[in-house]
Amino acid sequence: MALVLITSKNSRRSRKRALWAMARHEAQDVCGDPRTSGRSYMLTWTDRPGTEGTDWEWVPDNGSHAPVLDELGITPRREWTAAPQAPAEAA
C-alpha cells in the first residue's frame, strides 16, 4: 500500500496532508500523471508515511482529480493500512 500526499509549493506544514491510500503501482500512476500537479502543488506518494496524527493527516478530497482516477480505473481509499512486512528469511 501507498499513501498519496498533496504537497504545496512554498509552504511549510508540520504534518503531511494525505488524500488517498491505494496500491503502490496505482500511486505511481496517479502521481506520474501530469494532470496531478499544478503551479502551486503536486501529488507524491510514500509507502512509509509514519504515524497518522503525528506525521500526517487526512485532508478533504475536493474531487479535482476524479477524472484522472476514473481514467486510470483507480478507486482510492481513505483508510491507511500498511501492508504487512514479509518475514525475514532464516539464516
pLDDT tens track for 53-66: 999 999 999 999 99
Nearest to 9 by CA among 35, 33, 34, 44: 44
pLDDT band at 89 (very low <50, low <70, confident <90, very high): low
> How many CA atoms within 13 Å lie on the side-chain side of 34?
0
Distance between CA 5 and CA 16 in Å, rounded? Answer: 7
Q: Where are the beta strands (DSSP E) in 1-91?
A: 2-8, 16-22, 41-46, 56-58
Distance (Å, whole) CA 17 – CA 71? 24
pTM value is 0.85
The pLDDT score that the predictor gives to residue 14 is: 74
